[in-house]
Amino acid sequence: MFSGDDAAVLALPPAGRLLLAIDLVVEGVHFDLALGSLADAGWKAISVNASDIAAMGGRPLHVVAGVSAPEDTDLDALADGMVEACAAHGIALVGGDLSGGDRLVVSAAITGTCDGRDPVLRSGAGVDDVIWVSGPLGAAAAGLHLLQSHHGATGAESEGEQRLIGAYRRPLARVEEGRAAARAGATAMIDISDGLSKDLDHIATQSGVGLRLGAVPVAGGATLEQALGGGEDYELVFTAPEGSPVLETFEAAGLPPPVRIGVCSADASERSVEGRRLEISGWEHTFRG
Amino acid sequence: MFSGDDAAVLALPPAGRLLLAIDLVVEGVHFDLALGSLADAGWKAISVNASDIAAMGGRPLHVVAGVSAPEDTDLDALADGMVEACAAHGIALVGGDLSGGDRLVVSAAITGTCDGRDPVLRSGAGVDDVIWVSGPLGAAAAGLHLLQSHHGATGAESEGEQRLIGAYRRPLARVEEGRAAARAGATAMIDISDGLSKDLDHIATQSGVGLRLGAVPVAGGATLEQALGGGEDYELVFTAPEGSPVLETFEAAGLPPPVRIGVCSADASERSVEGRRLEISGWEHTFRG
């Protein structure tokens, strides 16, 4: 698959800046092989990285992957999931490193480009900016809950349940949504990996604004608690000044409409949802005690 | 330390190609915390990546690091070692990811540039090319042997023994040596991470040439076996046509002279050292059975 050299040689787009991120997924922390396959783990290692690029308003380009795996690991199955996720996101898998280890860890680093546009940071939200989310939340948390209550998939899941499980096992980075948000004038953006309240809190803290949320869109089959605190949806949450052409830009790109969920307030300590205090909770990313 | 965004934003040199590599170091496989410190582990995670860039004839630019660590890990000590190694190699540490896990795994991805020159691959060696090594070998293997025989450092090591232990614990990527080799016309290059015979075998196999080695320089305090089969020296081995200005280029750069150790032969199956068969052995990179 790879050139076999010590490093991959990348041809870069002409724009002079590159995005670079790394994420690792750890068995027992980010995935449980009783609840998903090795291919799902490989998929997730790629898509969480692609989501980091999407959250900057960028387009993913290249991935290198490092795998530490016990001897009896089916590396082909793991690689299949990685290759499928790269194909789904238009990413070139250009190199890797393989090592032994007594627990499976998949690390991947990714490059991306904003095609000459400024990347969208977490720190740029302004007072009175509108807060948008790219889609309904909580599907992955609901899917995980289903899997955990039956110690895996039973094969008897309804279509709706399968969709929730798929959202958990095979998340798709919202690359086109992130680019549309950037074009529409997004001032800050983050992907929802740990839960809406926790990730949005990063934007508020780094931007020095408060959060005043209204109704939040909940995925069919999920609870409000899962929508607010559940991780791994990989929807994007972003801010943009009132009047920015957010809906128009998404529509022109053929994307489902994002949902307006609140505003950034001048009181930097405010964290509220529908008039109540917003609890900043989120996934601890662990399957063990 | 980092911007806190989902991806680092890199300013790139004008040359249009970028090197990208990933390497991971795993407790119990690549390091043993009884034989070195957490800071040493952090150092190694960076330097092995820098060595991948050096082996292409490149100069390292940026690193992102992903750490999976048990809860009680002294992350400051680990980070200190990473920061020290980045400083020693002129690398900018631009981002990272931290996760739980029951065994320490440090993954790092690195970018580099060849400043417009073609990268040196493993596949370019030609018949009759001379084989060079950037310095004497076996020091890291001898240092590891010392540490293993006393279950760690005793504090009573001689200066020579301390040097061997330092070669194992704090390897330095041969970045300037790799760049000098590239300027001198190197046709193939690799860093010695698994052992000279094993790594040189990659060049021979990927280039379709044989290996005919003469005397190999052995580091003071190391054995010939450690020089041929011991890993983690991170010296570079490279090939260049007879008559290439290798010694002159290294001298002009103020570097110690590399050592000529053999030639690439036309018989692609040949693997010989001083007239005997060269055993292709190397480090398995494991401390456990």
Q: Which residues of A touch B6 (CB under 8 A)?
A: 21, 51-53, 55-56, 122, 190-191
Contact status, residue B112 vs residue B19, Cβ threshold 8 Å: yes
B49-61 pLDDT, tens digit each: 999 999 999 999 9
Quick one: pLDDT at residue B284? 60
3-state DSSP helix/strand/coil % of chain B, to nearest 5: 30, 25, 45
| DSSP β-bridge partners for residue B236 | B191
Say if the Cβ atoms of B53 and A6 lie within 8 Å: yes
Selecting from A22, A52, A64 the residue whose C-beta is nearest the C-beta of B65 gives A22
B45-89 pLDDT, tens digit each: 999 999 999 999 999 999 999 999 999 999 999 999 999 999 999
Radius of gyration of chain B (CA): 19
Q: Which residues of B touch A60 (CB under 8 A)?
A: none
Chains A, B: CB pairs < 8 Å: 212
Q: Hey, what are A120's tokens?
A: 């969208």
Confidence of residue B288 (pLDDT cuts 50, 70, 90): very low
Q: Which residues of B touch A68 (CB under 8 A)?
A: 24, 26, 29, 105
Pairing of strands B105-113, A188-191: unpaired
Say if the Cβ atoms of A17 and B4 lie within 8 Å: no
Quick one: pLDDT at residue B156? 86
Pairing of strands B236-240, B130-133: antiparallel
Pairwise CA distance, residues A185 & A208, whole Å: 19
B186-235 pLDDT, tens digit each: 999 999 999 999 999 999 999 999 999 999 999 999 999 999 999 899 99
Domain B130-277 sits in CATH at 3.90.650.10
Provide the residue ranges of all domains of chain A, joining segments of one domain with +: 19-113, 130-277
Q: Cβ–Cβ contacts within 10 Å for residue B114, how many?
A: 23
- Class at the top of the CATH hierarchy for domain A19-113: alpha beta
CA nearest to A257, candidates A269, A265, A247: A247
Q: Examine domains B19-113 and B130-277 and report if their fold is the same.
A: no
Any idea how long chain B is? 289
In chain A (289 residues long), the average pLDDT of successive 10-residue segments reads 70 74 92 93 96 96 94 95 97 91 94 91 97 97 94 88 96 98 97 94 96 97 94 95 98 98 98 93 55
